[in-house]
Amino acid sequence: MALFWVSKGLGPNVGNLARSQYSSNFVLTNGSKLLYSSLRNAKDVRSSPTAIVFMNMGGPSTLDETHDFLYELFSDNDLIPISQKYQRYIAKQIARFRTPKIQQQYSEIGGGSPIRRWSEHQAEKVCKILDKSCPETAPHKPYVAFRYARPLTDETYKQLMDDGIKRAVAFSQYPQFSYSTTGSSLNELWRQIKALDPDRSINWSVIDRWPTHEGLANAFAENIKKKLQEFPEDIRKDVVLLFSAHSLPMDVVNTGDAYPAEVASTVHRVMEVLNFSNPYRLVWQSQVGPKPWLGAQTAEITKFLEANEKGLIFIPIAFTSDHIETLHEVDLGIIGESDHSHKLKRCDSLNGSETFINALADVAKNHLKKQELYSRQLPLDFKLGKSNDPIKDLSLVFGDHSKDQK
């Protein structure tokens, strides 16, 4: 099920990050690293828990949620540009038409997506680690905010306000940035800030990418090594590693989206950990429709290689937990329908890996200790990204805006 589209729109203006009206709240260093002393000095922020908000696209946890998930997905004109005026009406028709087929797919993988369960587990574990490793921002409280499934961004935002949260970190669970995923989630966060929190009771920062983190690479490498053990020792070194990531339409790639390069950087980092022990390729899955997509396609490369190679391992390099693209598209589709399925294996997803969870905690700890509002790359991402309702100035979203209301 493909999830990447971006509509036409004007690129946002994010160059003016240190405007004079924010000079009392921010100090600008190294372009995008903004230190906000007011966060350290404000009593209400110090006494509030620090919310760690795992952001992801999400998936229906039960079969009954499938229709609403599809409706929210196809209602997003930023992601799937159908018609800005009639988007929601058309989304209703598409969701009604596609629900039976997608429900059947979810029923075949256990009755729903496990992404919420894994996200909540990971976020809870990360906060417990942070309470010990980063006591100056403790206690840390875990939340999940999905773009198209419950808990939706607005639901989580209301919960944050009910819980009295004053400081929150939006932690993108896409290690590699794309404007179609992380960018869409941040645009939605900005819409909910304007709708639910115009007085800016919550100070936000964001972890918008972490593609080459050592712990992430180690977690992938551990799972690959375990899967290689399932092949006979005499052929193990010849097994081809296929790192499979969700594809992008080429018109999105051609905007300068960071995703292809960042996914490739993750792959290279993992192979460095493995000492380049096996032949490997980066391939792309889940493309649909007549438009050109980033390739080579996972399914097509598999068909080309499977008969003559001694073995293939699929590594879900852009996914941090199992969901329909791994459990159905790869396991039941590419592997399950192959005449050479005995030679094809999928590497376990990161899910509950302790190495991975420690990596998440380390990413969050470094972010909190540096007091960084967002990465140096994010302003350029939003200049290049296309959206009908974008963040036009990152300094309006992230940091302490409480003084602006006085």
At 68 the three-state DSSP class reads helix
CA atoms within 13 A on the CB side of 233: 0
The residues carrying an active-site annotation are: 362
**Which tokens sit at 188?**
């939605």
CA 1 to chain CA centroid, Å, is: 16
Q: What is the C-alpha to C-alpha distance for residues 406 and 404, in angstroms, rounded to an integer?
A: 6
Q: How far is CA 80 from CA 172, 250, 318, in A?
A: 20, 14, 20
What string of DSSP letters covers 92-121?
Answer: HHHHHHHHHHHHHHHHTTTSS-SHHHHHHH
Write down the residue that tokens 């499977």 correspond to.
306
Q: Which residues have C-beta within 8 Å of that of residue 217, sequence separation ≥ 6?
A: 266, 269, 270, 272, 273
The one-letter amino acid at 193 = I
- Strand, helix or coil for residue 316: strand
Looking up tokens 């309470």 gives: 131
CA dihedral of residues 138, 139, 142, 143 (deg, nearest 10): -90
